[in-house]
């Protein structure tokens, strides 16, 4: 099915562990984004990408790493998880810069 999918939907891990959140879209959209959503903060942009092999830092990139070797995939890695990274993470894609973003259903990440 066409769309944007995130995996896993739920994840519990411990501080100091590395964890990777996956994002896959089937539209071949050029633009992809990672956000975190926290109560009181709305959506905050972590990283974004305009094409394969092109990534840029957003508002809150510290502690996160991304890669984009293929257009359809945009994984987000927490290299050494901290409790402050407990959040709901959303991936989004857009075909053109004036087009709306399409969001995945999120990954709820808890770091103990």
- What is the contact surface with another protein in residues (CB under 8 A)? 31, 33, 41-43, 45, 48, 50, 58, 90, 92, 97-98, 100-106
Min CB(8)–another protein separation in Å: 14
- 3-state class of 51 per DSSP? strand
Q: Are 80 and 18 in contact (CB under 8 A)?
A: yes
Torsion of Cα atoms, 16 then 103 then 55 then 112, to 10°: -10
**Cβ of residue 71: shortest distance to another protein, in angstroms?**
16
Closest approach, Cβ 75 to another protein, in A, equals 17
Strand bridging mode 107-111 / 10-13: parallel
Q: Where are the alpha helices (DSSP H) in 4-101?
A: none
C-alpha to C-alpha distance for 41 and 31, rounded to whole angstroms: 23
Question: Closer CB to another protein, residue 27 or residue 103?
Answer: 103
Residue whose CB is less far from another protein, 38 or 79: 38
The distance of closest approach from Cβ of residue 42 to another protein in the complex, given in angstroms and rounded to an integer, is 4
Q: What is the CA radius of gyration of the chain?
A: 13
Complex with another protein: residue 10 or 82, whichever CB lies closer:
10
Looking at beta carbons only, is 8 or 14 nearer to another protein? 8
């Amino acid at each position: 099915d066409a769309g944007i999918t995130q995996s896993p939907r739920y994840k519990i891990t411990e501080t100091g562990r590395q964890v990777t959140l996956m994002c896959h879209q089937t539209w071949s959209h050029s633009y992809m984004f990672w956000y975190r959503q926290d109560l009181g903060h709305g959506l905050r942009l972590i990283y974004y990408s305009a094409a394969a092999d092109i990534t840029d830092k957003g508002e809150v990139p510290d502690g996160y790493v991304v890669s984009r070797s293929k257009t359809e995939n945009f994984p987000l890695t927490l290299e050494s998880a901290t409790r402050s990274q407990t959040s709901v993470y959303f991936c989004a894609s857009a075909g053109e810069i004036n087009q709306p973003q399409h969001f995945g259903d999120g990954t709820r990440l808890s770091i103990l």
